[in-house]
Structure 1
């Protein structure tokens, strides 16, 4: 029995403590929520500003005040009449990002699965994968291009740039899958194996559905990190440039709201992809 049960003021003291704890929790939640909103506004305000300026009129500039409101620069972007055709670099960036996302996903899941076995040399393997994050992007791209030149390999967006992008995105996907597998209960797999399932069947029917949110996360990491990568693409893409290189090249020539339009369009597409992924995960969880 609680020694304070016979003391008349004990219940009132306990209620006051609970009330104080709830009040502190609410204040902490409001403070952290406010700081989060301020940080998000600080992060997204420049993008929102560019999005507004992308709807300038035909004679509009790249700064405020806006000269009219229209979709003129989006039409120019599609017709490629002012700054050149952005559609080929956009297509290359999209295909490269998709290939990088799929490769990153497969290698991340396989590497994280291997790390669960604690094989000999797993520590060296772990830090070897993380080298993609530690090394500066410009040095990686320049060094890889120099190596290709020594070996007589021609740089191209779908070969050399693809390999460099995978080396950049793989550590993020790998760390994501490690975090997912650290919360995974291995007894679920052991139960399936005990009941006669093969390792592939146990992975496909038990493991993969549980870690599916992490797998989708690695896909998003691979796509987003490859799609807007500039530093590692500068020396490894070759003659057929990707979208980030095309945008940066245009900044040295002429700055028009058309650049804002392409930035707004790609940002909107990324947000739609994230919302679609979130909706898919929500439906899977409901099932």
Structure 2
């Protein structure tokens, strides 16, 4: 807009609508963060009663019978593994789909159909599959007459089995769609130049393709971690006898009546922001490094 030019009449109504949307979107999160820093006499609603880190100290001491520290470690472990697998599998799938092959369209539809399925239905289905698997394992143990194994076996459902599969059904389609967008803009002349220099397929990928797409790959990892970090519906029926931090947080909303629940929400938000910030910083560093190498 040139200096002195008048704004159109629609500007201020649209600006107010946008501001209202931003308040609606981020206002609840801001309220939770503010209320988590209350004093010992603080409650679940305004007015704010003092300012302190009291409820964070209470959170560190534990909330009743819930082991927040163990749930946090489980969520970090699961999120890290989901992030790593999402990156590797999304890149592999993106490379495979660069060329047409028989059944590629059907395979793509199957791969992304998980996005439109109700999450709780996916979770129930995975839970049912693993219960059927448990029955099969018990029958095999009985057939082998392995009494010790039969007595010690409880379920194959767990953090790194059924819960991992449930979360990958949510993160992989996003990773695949991101890789499609990346390779859509990718210039194949770089690969052709590498092949002209007698580079193998692996050398071309390692030294040419991967450095160019690496910022996007880290973005896929960030997306996979953040989607895993706050996932509830797909994990709820497929995690077995342990809980991730979001599931513990959901359960605590009906039992904890102090701002400690807000302190837990603030901690989870901080972890998400740290992951996003670290990924963006790494992507910017890689882009600048690539630019220096190009102009060097």
TM over 0.5, shorter chain: yes
Question: In structure 1, which of residues 244, 247, 267 is the aligned counterpart of residue 246 of structure 2?
Answer: 244
Which segments of structure 1 move beyond 4 Å, counting only runs of 4 or more? Answer: 30-38
TM-score (norm 2): 0.84
Which residue number in structure 1 is paired with residue 87 of structure 2?
105
Q: Give the drift of 1:96.
A: 0.4
Q: Is the 8 A contact 1:105 1:218 kept in 2?
A: yes
In structure 2, runs of 5+ residues without a counterpart are 135-154, 290-296
Q: Is the 8 A contact 1:76 1:82 kept in 2?
A: no
Q: Is the 8 A contact 1:141 1:235 kept in 2?
A: yes
Question: In structure 2, which of residues 138, 156, 159 is the aligned counterpart of residue 157 of structure 1?
Answer: 159
Q: Is the 8 A contact 1:140 1:232 kept in 2?
A: yes
RMSD over aligned Cα, in angstroms? 2.4
SS in 2 for 1:202: helix
Question: Is 1:116 aligned with 2:116?
Answer: no
Name which of structure 1's ranges 193-202 and 267-276 shifts more when overlaid on structure 2: 267-276
Q: 1:216 to 1:54 in 2, by over 3 A?
A: same
Structure with greater Cα Rg: 1
**Structure 2 CA distance for aligned equivalents of residues 112 and 33 of structure 1:** 39
Q: Is the 8 A contact 2:194 2:204 kept in 1?
A: yes
Name which of structure 1's ranges 265-274 and 112-121 shifts more when overlaid on structure 2: 265-274
Question: Is 1:70 aligned with 2:72?
Answer: no
Which residue number in structure 2 is paired with residue 6 of structure 1?
none
Which string of whole-angstrom CA distances, capped at 9 and with x for unpartnered residues, describes residues 116-171 of structure 1?
01111110111111022111110000111112112215311121100111111000
Which residue number in structure 2 is paired with residue 89 of structure 1?
71
**Structure 2 CA distance for aligned equivalents of residues 34 and 207 of structure 1:** 45
Which residue number in structure 2 is paired with residue 220 of structure 1?
222
SS in 1 for 2:97: helix
Q: Give the drift of 1:107.
A: 0.6
Aligned residue pairs, count: 267
**Structure 2 CA distance for aligned equivalents of residues 44 and 139 of structure 1:** 29
Which residue number in structure 2 is paired with residue 191 of structure 1?
193
Which residue number in structure 1 is paired with residue 281 of structure 2?
279
Which residue number in structure 1 is paired with residue 180 of structure 2?
178
Q: Is the 8 A contact 2:215 2:287 kept in 1?
A: no
